[in-house]
Amino acid sequence: MEIRLDGKTALVTGGSRGIGLAIASAYAEAGAKVMIASRKADALERAAAEIGNGCGWVVANTGDPEAADAAVAATIERFGSLDVLVNNAAANPYAGPTIDVDLGRWDKTLLVNLTAPLVWTQLAWRHWMQHHGGAVINISSVGALKTSEQLGVYGITKAALLHMTEQLAAELGPGVRVNAICPGLIKTDFARALWEGERGLEVAQGYPLKRLGEPDDIAGAALYLAADTGSWITGQQLVLDGGGLVGFPED
């Protein structure tokens, strides 16, 4: 079955690399008009050229509400609609016990991983989706579903994002569907410290599917949820982790 997004416009935050780039590329290949947003113009320009299909780009610090408003407005002005919003951008400035986190890095993680998806969704709703419908996809993490020695703060924000996904799905239906994807360890630059070298091989061996994820593994699910194939799905979380949560713990 070929999944298509012809006639749809998608805005992807953090769309210049990794999971965001893969999602934006999949959407463009499926016929969507795509706008990508992130902080660096040079990276956006390269990514847009790679994505093709007239992909647009806009510089926006995800955690800046004014930049978010400008990005949403630019998307609608250029393409005439905003049918799919992917809240993909994330930050992880702190690693260590949650009890020791300083408030500066705590606030930064909350701002990018939780407040920003709310703000971008509010803007998409107010500027377009409230009257025309649409789909919102939040990129959470498998870390939202378990504790972690080093990434607890990140996991807390991603767990809150799952609850916000459910809350907004309840509020914005029937016209707007809101769902979340929870990736396991994906081979991106963002997560490089977790998978590079022998460490990645060890993690993969704990997954029933015996490999780490690739950005395209997430893109396929994001396409399914954005298209008519996901028309009766809202308020859900889709775990894509190679079976990591159900794998047998290491001896």
CA–CA gap between residue 32 and residue 50 (Å, rounded): 15
Q: Which of 27, 94, 154, 224 is catalytic?
A: 154
**Residue showing tokens 């934006």:** 24
Say how many CA atoms lie within 13 Å of 142 toward its Cβ: 15
**Across the strands, what pairs with 124?**
none
Q: What is the largest CA-CA distance in the chain?
A: 56
Active site residue 94: no
3-state secondary structure 158-173: HHHHHHHHHHHHHHHC
Helix (H, G, I), strand (E, B) or coil at 230: helix
- Asked if 218 and 19 touch (Cβ cutoff 8 Å), the reply is yes
Closest CA to 198 of 181, 212, 219: 212
Q: Which positions are annotated as active-site residues?
A: 154
